[in-house]
Structure 1
C-alpha cells in the first residue's frame, strides 16, 4: 500500500492536509488495519 501526502498528486499544491491511498484496494480488510496503525502513530 502506498500512503502519500495529498500534495504528491496535487497540481495546485493545496491538498497538504490530506492523505492519499489507493481506494481500489478498500475491499481488503488489511487496508483499514494499515490505516489504523498509521493514524495511531
Structure 2
C-alpha cells in the first residue's frame, strides 16, 4: 500500500538566461558555464 506513493516526477528545468539552454535551477549551466548572469567556469 505504501508503494502507491513511490512515483517519479519530471525534473524541473529552466532556461539559462545567458545561452537559453535547458538546465536545473540554481545550478551552473553546463553549456556556457554561467550562473546568475555571471561566468563561473571559463569556456574555451
Decide which structure has greater strand share: 2
- Larger relative contact order (Cα-Cα within 8 Å, sequence gap ≥ 6): 1
**Same fold per superposition (TM over 0.5):** no
Larger of the two Rg values belongs to structure:
2
